[in-house]
Amino acid sequence: MSWPHAHTRSHQSQVSHCSEYYSRRVLRLREEETLMPKPKLTRTDGLGPYEIQQIRNAVRLLWHRSKAKSIVVKRCTGPDGFLRCENQTCLEMVPKIYVDHIQAVGDVDEGFLKRMFVPSTELQGLCKQCHDKKTKAERQSS
Ligand SMILES: [Zn+2]
């Protein structure tokens, strides 16, 4: 990691710069850990971040009723009627399955609908723990 203008700054300002960076970073990590809601966006006169968020939420609602998603839930249901996580290193029996896009859907762009509505073979049913872990890793890498 390199600090901007690190060579031109005095030692004192580097320290305050770093501590300011760390306190913001710690704050961000705490927000992610406690899943604090992000500051509310407001409507734009046109297509802005708020409208894009609304489109994502609306499309996700439709996707939750998709055939592909129901196929995955059926696939996770054993002959005993219990649900199991499809993560082969987990296979935990759980009360609820979280259907995950193996390839993250990502931004609302030209390819968004195609990445959201993938066939069931490109989805996996995970337990909450496995799903949260994957979602967190995807957020950090984006
Ligand atoms: Zn799992």
Residues 23-76: pLDDT tens digits? 554 445 455 556 677 778 999 999 999 999 999 999 999 999 999 999 999 999
Provide the whole-model pTM: 0.70
Which residues hold their Cβ within 5 A of ligand 1, which is an ion? 85, 87, 90, 92, 127, 130
Spacing, Cα 128 to ligand 1 middle (Å) = 7
**What tokens does 52 get?**
């894009």
Higher confidence at residue 129 or residue 27?
129
**pLDDT-based confidence at 142, cuts 50/70/90?**
confident
Q: What is the DSSP letter of 84?
A: E
The mean pLDDT of the chain is 84
Nearest to 101 by CA among 142, 141, 72, 62: 72
Contact 114, 72 (CB under 8 A): no
**What tokens does 55 get?**
């489109």
Is 50 exceeded by the pLDDT of residue 6? no
pLDDT of residue 138: 94
Spacing, Cα 101 to ligand 1 middle (Å) = 14
pLDDT, tens digit (0-9, with 9 covering 90-100), for 76-121: 999 999 999 999 999 999 999 999 999 999 999 999 999 999 999 9
Spacing, Cα 123 to ligand 1 middle (Å) = 14
Query: Residue 126 forms beta bridges with which residues?
Result: 98
